């Protein structure tokens, strides 16, 4: 009987560990995708802003 309890406890722990690993992996994928989107959208707008500033700097 004690063996069954230990076996069930190990299975529960393994199952929980697998769920946590999966959740962490999905979270990391989502965060990396968000970071890529932010980086891609931030780079062109910064270049556009600089070109506007450089064009107006000589006029004043």
Dist CA 32 CA 23 (whole Å): 14
- Provide the pLDDT for residue 39: 93
- Provide the pLDDT for residue 51: 55
pLDDT in tens, the chain (60 residues): 677 778 888 888 899 999 999 999 999 999 999 999 999 998 655 555 555 555 555 555
Residue-range domain boundaries for the chain? 1-51
Q: What angle (nearest 5°) sits at the alpha carbon of residue 54, between those of residues 51 and 43?
A: 30
């Amino acid at each position: 009987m004690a063996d069954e309890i230990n076996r069930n406890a190990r299975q529960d722990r393994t199952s929980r560990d697998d769920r946590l690993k999966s959740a962490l992996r999905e979270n990391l994928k989502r965060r990396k995708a968000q970071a890529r989107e932010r980086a891609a959208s931030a780079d062109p707008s910064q270049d556009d802003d600089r070109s506007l500033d450089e064009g107006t700097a000589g006029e004043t």
